Structure 1
Amino acid sequence: MAKLNRPKLATHYSGPRAGPRDCVSLEGRCRVGEGEATRIAVLDLDSGGCRAKGITAAVTKVDPLRLWLGEIGPIAGRLRWAKRGSVGIAFDEPLDEMTLARIVETAAPTPVAEVIPLRRRLPTAG
């Protein structure tokens, strides 16, 4: 019986990226093609793209997207990836530094998750 060679699943994005992304919590809107603009939550942002949640329309990598990040927009982009309810969007033209700074300033700060270490009791001998 022949052994099946299955591709390994990628657990993180390893493609090209302009630089580190800012963690933001920003309300936005997204329009897929000629459809209606729907509300989305923007979670990560850099000059070349963002990660968002809440796109409910069917979207493929060839569909044009129009984004409004807070009050800034429309910004043209395309779908790069979709996974676990989140999507990665690449902007057609990178955002300039002033526009990116304005968007980040208007975003609510993302709370830092508190990690509480749990101690496990070791079984006692005896």
Structure 2
Amino acid sequence: MESHEHTSVDEEVAALSRSADRDSLFMQARLQLAGATDTVLVRVRNLSAGGMLAEVQGRIRGLEQGGAVEVDLRNIGPVPGRIVWIGDGKFGVAFDRPVDPQAVRRQVVRKMEVPPHISALNRGPFYRPR
């Protein structure tokens, strides 16, 4: 007969996050704890649709397992989640909704301001008609 061990929701989410496709990267994000007004800059080391592994220097006051957080990810914006584990300057966040890790990796390209004398080159042929 199979024994069924009771697992918490946090343990299940952590197991899913570990098995999900993860992107290894090195980027920064802003983390805000529930009820806090200020944000903390963290380094994102791994990112998947369901969560992330973050690293921080020092300690974040109020950071605790099960605590609600909001992570501001590049190209996506604020994503709510909760802390699923903490250890040795690193911690795991399970997102409340899936995100697109590839969108976070994309570079934002802005239309460059081009001087008028150069943009005139794009209006017509580059050769002089005879």
Q: TM-score scaled by structure 1?
A: 0.64
Structure whose residues are more often strand by fraction: 1
For residue 90 of structure 2, the aligned residue among 86, 93, 96 is: 86
Cα deviation digits, residues 23-55 of structure 1 (max 9, x gap): 011111000012111111111000000000126
- 1:60 equivalent in structure 2: 64
How far apart in 2 are the matches of 1:72 and 1:34? 22
Q: Are the counterparts in 1 of residues 64 and 86 from structure 2 also a CA contact under 8 Å?
A: no
Match of 1:40 in 2: 42
User: Identity of counterpart residues, as a percentage?
Assistant: 23
Cα distance in 2, alignment partners of residues 57 and 30 from structure 1: 12
| Displacement of 1:83 | 1.2
| Distance (Å, rounded) in 1 between the aligned partners of 2:40 and 2:93 | 15
- Partner in structure 1 of residue 4 of structure 2: none
**Aligned 1:1-126 pairs, distance under 5 A:** 15-17=15-17, 19-35=20-36, 36-54=38-56, 56-95=60-99, 99-106=100-107
Moved more, 17-26 or 73-82: 17-26
Structure 1 unaligned runs (5+)? 1-13, 107-126
CA contact (8 A) 2:30 2:42 kept: yes
Aligned partner of 1:84: which letter?
Answer: D
Runs of 4+ residues over 4 Å off in structure 1: none
1:56 maps to a residue whose letter is I
Task: Sort the Cα spacing of 1:71 and 1:37 in 2 relative to 1 into closer, same or farther, 3 A.
Answer: farther
Residue identity matched to 1:45: L
| Per-residue deviation, 1:102 | 1.4
Q: Is the partner of 2:16 in helix, strand or coil?
A: coil
Q: Deviations over 1:55-75 (max 9, x none)?
A: 622222332101012253210
Residues 83-121 of structure 1, C-alpha deviations (whole Å, 9 max, x = no match): 1110000001111xxx42110224xxxxxxxxxxxxxxx
Code of the aligned partner of 1:15: A
